[in-house]
Structure 1
């Protein structure tokens, strides 16, 4: 099988498995569009929001109950260190930069803005630098595209009041930026305690035709993923669980509120499809 997995400590060992082609894609997120638009791979790591949108638009992939990346995102909402201090509530009526409106980090950040600060997705103009992965998706009218190369460039140019950056971007283009939310780590822990789960960013999907034609091979890959992620810090891991179900339910609700999906996400159906890999 042709497999795409990110360069994570818990997945590197899998790339030594014989009999498969492990495709290196950098940046990893560029593989998501290739998967949902052309079904280019057999098994592929994928951002949660991309998976939900792909499912909403009938892309024939099935979720494996495997989480490769996740974490809280209160620290992902950033500003310039010398900019006037503003609160998340001050973003109502403002412009905020995000790589893509359908980026999963943005999904979680907009969710917490609504829950904790009363700021709806439509209250903000979301300025993006990239298009969605799912070609069929049409962005809502409060999203606009910029010619800027990066989200950090939008901040530095004064085009946005704040920027949403994922963990790797914070350590890269976002170096030196500061969280908009005071004591972001504590706020993230409070979110996780309140919801009984941790936000999921990346999952793994398989092409439906591969699952139909070679189910034992898919089972073997899943077993390797489960062994590789055993003992990892939540939410990373494999197997259907209550925390995973909660993360999917919350992410699906956020996606509907933000017009990322047009129909209700049936998490029970996702679980049914994943039942063969449950304990």
Structure 2
């Protein structure tokens, strides 16, 4: 008799084959669910709605400070297109005199959703490592970028001593505050509407962010992951279960990668983005044929770096390791 599992995951091209049934989990009767917002999946996971679920790394890691941490991770990294280089996630008010990273010191900076969201931890860590700007040198305002959002009260929200953090007022958006100059900068997974509209009042801190991010990858080998698949601990040690799920997610991801590799022969005629094949060739030269790797070995340096940042930024009581967070059965992946 097969095991029944409920699995929550966002609808991406590399999970499409799981959601539409082309790929199944061996020996498991799996029900896949998705949601309009990926944060809804995180919240439902915390509330016990799923057996396995996509989880933002910081949301997942914060549960380790609970008395009874409910999850372990599968090394499916990352599960969404938010495996992004995050230099491009830092925005500034162009009238504020911020022209280099060091100019952020002493400024008021907005951050999307919570202090230390996944797309914020990476740039904060990079700012500290490479430019000497640490979070305690700034004042922080938390909120929604283009739409007001309440505080995420369903997840622990630690704030380290010596760091000034407040939530935006009801009805305020960080994007509007940045455009008006009420805040000096913004770190956000969402692009401010002012940037999308071409406003001269808001720009990225790194104008040529692609070149900066490609250089970062060449130097570090890190393609920053954002999310994992979390499994409830009572299921994590069932022999073969975690590996069956891991293998299914890997198969679905390989199908998505293979489509791009196969379509290169026809210059990606199915993609409407001009010059996409040129971009694909450039990315392939830099990132290789498996540009979206799963498994511990391929991601250990990136995960270790994120775990260090998470602890240094006061979001974990102790510095965790891959051995702490991943299902033991999959540490050999």
Shorter chain as denominator, the TM-score bin is: 0.7 to 0.9
Residue 144 of structure 1: SS of its match in structure 2?
strand
What stretches of structure 1 of length at least 5 have no aligned partner? none
Equivalent pair of 2:116/2:315 in contact (CA under 8 Å):
yes
Per-residue deviation at 1:219? Answer: 3.1
Please tell me whether residue 240 in structure 1 is matched to residue 296 in structure 2. yes
Matched residue, 1:146: 168
Matched residue, 1:170: 191
Aligned length: 273
- Give the Cα separation in 2 of the matches to 1:32 and 1:139: 20
1:126 to 140, 143, 152: 140
Please tell me whether residue 104 in structure 1 is matched to residue 138 in structure 2. no
2:184 to 161, 185, 188: 161
**Given the superposition, is the C-alpha separation of residues 132 and 247 from structure 1 closer, same or farther in structure 2, using an over 3 Å criterion?**
farther
Per-residue deviation at 1:84? Answer: 4.7
Equivalent pair of 2:73/2:231 in contact (CA under 8 Å):
yes
Equivalent pair of 1:75/1:181 in contact (CA under 8 Å):
yes
- Give the Cα separation in 2 of the matches to 1:125 and 1:235: 36
Matched residue, 1:219: 243
**Given the superposition, is the C-alpha separation of residues 119 and 276 from structure 1 closer, same or farther in structure 2, using an over 3 Å criterion?**
closer
Matched residue, 1:75: 88
Equivalent pair of 2:293/2:299 in contact (CA under 8 Å):
no
Matched residue, 1:54: 63
Per-residue deviation at 1:137? Answer: 3.4
- Give the Cα separation in 1 of the matches to 2:236 and 2:323: 19
2:213 to 145, 165, 188: 188
Matched residue, 1:207: 232
Worse overlay, 26-35 or 258-267 = 26-35
Matched residue, 2:34: 24
Matched residue, 1:4: 8
**Given the superposition, is the C-alpha separation of residues 107 and 186 from structure 1 closer, same or farther in structure 2, using an over 3 Å criterion?**
same
**Given the superposition, is the C-alpha separation of residues 150 and 53 from structure 1 closer, same or farther in structure 2, using an over 3 Å criterion?**
same
- Give the Cα separation in 1 of the matches to 2:140 and 2:180: 15
Equivalent pair of 1:10/1:228 in contact (CA under 8 Å):
yes
Equivalent pair of 1:43/1:206 in contact (CA under 8 Å):
yes
Q: Deviations over 1:113-159 (max 9, x none)?
A: 11122110111111101535663333234211112453312213422
Please tell me whether residue 251 in structure 1 is matched to residue 276 in structure 2. no
Residue 296 of structure 2: SS of its match in structure 1?
coil
Worse overlay, 70-79 or 24-33 = 24-33
- Give the Cα separation in 1 of the matches to 2:53 and 2:59: 12
What stretches of structure 2 of length at least 5 have no aligned partner? 144-149, 258-286
- Give the Cα separation in 2 of the matches to 1:151 and 1:12: 33
- Give the Cα separation in 2 of the matches to 1:90 and 1:170: 21
Per-residue deviation at 1:192? Answer: 1.9
Per-residue deviation at 1:44? Answer: 0.7
The root-mean-square deviation of aligned C-alpha atoms, in Å, is 2.5
Matched residue, 1:136: 156
- Give the Cα separation in 2 of the matches to 1:33 and 1:9: 22
